Amino acid sequence: MECQCENNAEAAPAGWFMGGSNVQMGGFAVVGYLLYRFSQTLPVLIRWPIRFFCYITGLSALWGWVSRLVGTFRGIKNLLKWVSRVWRFLVAFSSKLKWMVPIIRAITGSSDDGPQISGTSRESDLRLIFLGPNVADRNIIADDLLAIGSNKTRPFSNVVKKGIKQSTVLDGREITVINTPDVLGSSMGNASRAREALRSLQLTSPGPHAFLLVIKAQSSGESVGQDLTRAVQGALELFGEGVTGYIIPVI
């Protein structure tokens, strides 16, 4: 057998050199990336020599690839910022145009379906719910309002245990009055108050146009203000914050 030591000895340096080249290129790649990241924090005068070093060492291609990759990420980031700004503008713009919806509906004569506050089945109808701590005072105003109409109605009783509905016609317009029991007082339990509040809304289907909050005038203006504040808070707790713009105090 002949010894092949010489051939193997010649091939060994070549294999080591090829393996060393791969390690060297990997080291250059890592160094080039680190130099690129480090150069971003340096002034322009120092950044250019680093780029020149990458060019003469053959890392300019890696530099360009990393630059394009970073540029792509920056472009995506700027695009997301732009889309976010456009979205915020559209949301703010649409919220400012909500006041135009009733005008458009009034011009076109269209309306939403379903029960709602100030919803109307006929434009000539007027539906009112009377509230207040004193039943007698509410009855006086409700009876006076119904007496103006052409229909004869019975006076409301001072003992009201559940909501009562009466209607009259005034100048061809139907006026519906709902007189509620003591839903704002303490004579009824929470369950009964909630039930009568819901019943009063059902009696004015598809919804009332206004809540007349009757408060008896006192000698002290401060007392009237306190009574009115308590009554408004009670109405909001019972019917919800959506009725805020539909409460009309009657003193």
DSSP string for the chain: ----HHHHHHHHHHHHHHHHHHHHHHHHHHHHHHHHHHHTTS-HHHHHHHHHHHHHTT-HHHHHHHHHHHHHHHHHHHHHHHHHHHHHHHHHHHHHTTTHHHHHHHHHT----S--TT--SSTT-EEEEEE-S-HHHHHHHHHHHHHHSSS--PPPPS--SS-EEEEEEETTEEEEEEE--STTSSSS-HHHHHHHHHHHHHHTTT--SEEEEE----S-HHHHHHHHHHHHHHHHHHH-GGGGGGEEEE-
Neighbours of 224 (CB within 10 A): 16
Find the angle CA(3)-CA(5)-CA(8) to the nearest 5 degrees: 130
Would you say the C-alpha torsion 178, 184, 187, 193 has a positive or negative sign? positive
Q: State residue 237's pLDDT score.
A: 87
Choose among 214, 68, 78: nearest CA to 138: 214
Q: Which stretch of 7-16, 96-105, 139-148, 180-189 has the lowest confidence by average pLDDT?
A: 7-16
Average per-residue pLDDT in the chain?
71
Using the predicted structure, report yes or no on whether residue 8 has a pLDDT greater than 60: no
Percent of the chain with pLDDT over 90: 0
Q: State residue 167's pLDDT score.
A: 86
Q: Report the relative pairing of strands 173-179 and 126-131 from DSSP bridges.
A: parallel
Which position has the higher pLDDT, 177 or 48?
177
Q: State residue 165's pLDDT score.
A: 87
Q: Which tokens sit at 15?
A: 């294999």
Report the distance separating Cα 50 and Cα 63, nearest Å: 10
Using the predicted structure, report yes or no on whether residue 108 has a pLDDT greater than 80: no
Using the predicted structure, report yes or no on whether residue 13 has a pLDDT greater than 50: no
Using the predicted structure, report yes or no on whether residue 198 has a pLDDT greater than 70: yes
Report the distance separating Cα 143 and Cα 166, nearest Å: 10
**Average pLDDT, integer, range 79-100:** 74
Using the predicted structure, report yes or no on whether residue 107 has a pLDDT greater than 70: no
Buried b (16+ CB within 10 A) or exposed e, 115-143: eebebeeeeeebbbbbbbbebebbbebbb
**Average pLDDT, integer, range 3-17:** 47
The pTM is what?
Answer: 0.48
Residues with Cβ within 8 Å of residue 13, at least 6 apart in sequence: none
Cis peptide bond N-terminal to 206, omega within 30: yes
Angle between helices 60-96 and 44-56 (to 10 degrees): 130
**Average pLDDT, integer, range 208-234:** 77
The model's confidence at residue 100, banded by pLDDT at 50, 70 and 90, is low
Report the distance separating Cα 72 and Cα 50, nearest Å: 22
